Chain A
Amino acid sequence: MHALLVLLRKDFTNFFHNKAAVLLTFFVPFAMIYVFGQVFGVTKTDGGPSGIPLAVVNDSKDPGALQLVNALKAEKTFSVITEFTPPQHASRALTETDLEPLMHDNKFRFAVVIPSDLVKADQLGVHLKIYSNPRNEIETQMVTGVLQKTIFSTVPQLLGQSLQSHARTSVGDQRLKHFNRSIAENIASTFGGNADDITRQIEQGNFAPASAALTGASPGTTLDKAPAAFSNLLTQLVQIETRQVSGQDVKSPAATRIVGGFAIQFLLFALSSSAAALFYERDRGIFQRILAGPVSRSQILWSKFLYGSALGLLQLVVLFVGGRLLYGIDIENHLGYLSLVCVVTAAACTAFGMVLASVASSMEAASGLATFVILLMCSVGGAWFPVSLMPHAIQQLSKLTIVYWAMEGFDQVLWMNASFHDLVPTLGILIAITVAVMFVAVWRFNRGNLFE
């Protein structure tokens, strides 16, 4: 028993003397819980995403169209964009022809067009167009859901108003009032309710009481609580024309959407481990031997950088070839640009691994730090969850991560079929990150004890 206690005490004493282990055990999980909470918005009381850019083009003169725009603006999920400022021109209202180029430039991924024939004269119903770039499945499903909810909670009234207006023109005000009153009285006598209230609602274009009566609900039921049959009826009346702006020709959409996130995670873990191996060579005295010859510290560091980048590139090649063989991801048609993104991503991830190694004091500390920072970057950078659905501050933070820009690069090539011109900013940012991070790493290595 005594021996057991001594051994137990030995383990705890060793543990509490290992700062890296203590940090990994207590601080890192706490920090991760906090960060994940922020990323997934669990601390928000209202729930759901907010501020997703949504372009709205209103070509209709119908007052109901403005009502729909206002309803979209009131929806916190969206940050509605209605204006566009062309280079060296004054700001103006967005037009439908602006949408595709701007969506291609990833200014926004969803747009609603309210066409001039919102309410068609020759047929009953409402006509809308939705443009989308569904490069992220979760984001697309969420946005489509909220968009439909907003449209279907606004359009019926719009439709009713349209009907009332149409009827007033056709039969005159007095005859319409009489018609509305007789319908209201019929509803009230058959299903109950106040005929005056029902008349007023019908005149405002709210057909919910009539529909509720038709489907057996009690009068006065609000629209969003109306039975499903009513929604189905409306769905048939609202004609939504959808248009996918990018990714229509992608052969394996699901796999193509996720491959970037997976690739970057594998790469970060592999290359961080590779950089942490610097400590192995230091601890074995190998750097002493090498540096005693005609080799400089910079040469060692840059050779490690090149090695890591080459290894990362090789890993990406294996990953994408695997994706091609298993899931049919189209790499052969994007070979050139995909290679470019792979090279700069591998370089950025290697630099990241090296900077972590440069601030750590041992291989264990570097590995622990890498685990923490990689999980942090993957969650914030959008490898697990769409950045657009995160809180605004986290969205800004995500743009400081390699994960965000690497995924952007892979999406641009594989999903958006981007041109070299389109890719240049993303490649430039990844290269800039690599240079900046390597600069810090080399500076830290030269000041630290790695080579002593």
Chain B
Amino acid sequence: MLKLESVTKHYGSITALDQVSLDIARGEFFGLLGPNGAGKSTLMSLVAGLRSPDAGALSLDGATLSAQSAATRRDLGLVPQHIALYPRLTAEQNLRIFGGLQGLGGVLLRSRINEALQAVGLDDRRRDQVQTFSGGMQRRLNLAAAILHRPKVLLCDEPTVGVDPQSRNAIFEYLERLNDDGLTIIYSTHYMEEAARLCSRIGIIDHGKLLALGTLDELLTQLPFEEEIRFPATDKTAELASRLKDQGDVALVEQTHCFRPRAGFRLSSFYALTESHGLAPRLFATQRPSLEALFLHLTGRTLRE
């Protein structure tokens, strides 16, 4: 449905996107995961037609996507990273403006506004100025404004930045419902938890290059280990962490040691080691490796760096 072929974009001497190719199918919930400055927003802006690529091509259902292709862009909806709303206007007035710009009007626009406001839980605040809303409410309205015209593809550029957990969940649930109804969603984020929860397929991007692409399971198989053992980083566990380096990689992520064992590692030997250091089993958690681990594995640095 949405196709990117060897798309390259430079800003002066900086290469924001380097020969990125992607093929996103109809109804997919595609996640674009990468740290800040990785090229996610550039990719989103190219798809949205806000910029033109220096090389390569983008198409939606076979039609070229570019800054000049206004008709094709009618099939897109963009949820910008910013809260792109007029704060002095009411929620309803904002939606009327953005719906009108998409060519909606009259009864159809009114019914779409009603639907959208109900869907994001803001129906009772429709006549309030947006500047009186909480950050989470503004984010929800920001999302509602992008789907009034029922686009084929919804581009969400880090739509939950600065959002409280309750509003974040509301946004996730709404997006999942939209996706269940058949809407194709491209969701850029630097939160691996969001990508893991929402996305059926994930592309990991860094320094403008698409490093890995696939479902969560497919991505995780690229790791040279199948599980990860986590334990708190304390004075007592420091020596253990040091000893474990002989048997795998040990990374320190937010006051937690993440031990990723090499092939042939035996769990019994691990517990023997912890016992010899007098460490209680409750300190250790064995879990499936995360996208964070994959990113670390692919780039040598964490997503939050």
Contacts and interface: CB of A to CB of B under 8 A. Distances in A.
Which among A285, A289, A290 has the greatest number of chain B C-beta atoms within 10 A? A289
A292 B98 contact: no
A332 interface: no
A452 B80 CA distance: 12
Contact of B50 (A283, A286, A452): A452
Contact of A294 (B71, B98, B146): B71
Contacts of B108: none
A148 interface: no
A131 interface: no
A112 B145 CA distance: 71
A293 B50 contact: no
Contacts of B103: 294
A239 B77 CA distance: 82
A284 B74 contact: no
Interface in A268-314: 283-286, 288-297
A297 B155 CA distance: 20
B70 A289 contact: no
Nearest to A300: B101
Contacts of A294: 70-71, 73-74, 101-103
B102 A293 contact: yes
Contacts of B85: 284, 286
A283 B80 CA distance: 11
B71 A292 contact: no
Nearest to A283: B82
A57 B262 CA distance: 109
B183 to A, nearest CB: 15
Contact of B145 (A289, A295, A297): A289
Interface string B69-89: 011011011101111111000
Given A292-B76, A293-B102, A294-B102, A452 B81 contact: no
Interface residues of B, number: 28
B146 A289 contact: yes
A296 B73 CA distance: 10
Contacts of A296: 70
A451 B83 contact: no
Main secondary structure of the interface of A (DSSP, over half): loop
Contacts of B77: 292
B84 A285 contact: yes
A289 B49 contact: no
A288 B83 contact: no
Nearest to B99: A293
Contacts of A289: 78, 80, 84, 98, 145-146
Given A291-B50, A451-B50, A285 B82 contact: yes
Contacts of A288: 45, 48, 50, 78, 80, 82, 84
Contacts of A283: 82
A288 B155 CA distance: 12
B150 interface: no
A296 B49 CA distance: 10
B146 A452 contact: no
B18 to A, nearest CB: 19
A292 B73 contact: yes
B149 interface: yes
A284 B76 CA distance: 20
Contacts of B146: 289
B74 A293 contact: yes
B70 to A, nearest CB: 4
B82 A291 contact: no
Given A291-B50, A292-B50, A295-B70, A284 B82 contact: yes
B129 to A, nearest CB: 15
B51 interface: yes
Contacts of B98: 289-290, 293
Contact of B73 (A285, A286, A293, A451): A293
B58 to A, nearest CB: 13
Nearest to B72: A294
A293 B149 contact: yes
A289 to B, nearest CB: 4
Contacts of B80: 285, 288-289
Contacts of A451: 50
Contacts of A285: 80-84
Contacts of A286: 84-86
B89 to A, nearest CB: 11
Contacts of B51: 452
Contacts of B48: 288, 291-292
B14 to A, nearest CB: 14
Contacts of B84: 284-286, 288-289
A283 B82 CA distance: 8
Interface string B175-191: 00000000000000000
Contacts of B81: 285
A291 B84 CA distance: 12
9 contacts: A286-B86, A288-B84, A291-B67, A292-B73, A293-B73, A294-B71, A294-B103, A295-B70, A452-B51
Interface of B: 45, 48-51, 67, 70-71, 73-74, 76-78, 80-86, 98, 101-103, 145-146, 149, 155
User: Top 3 closest A-B pairs, CB basis?
Assistant: A285-B82, A292-B78, A285-B80
Given A284-B85, A291-B67, A293-B73, 6 more contacts: A284-B82, A288-B45, A288-B84, A289-B78, A289-B98, A293-B101
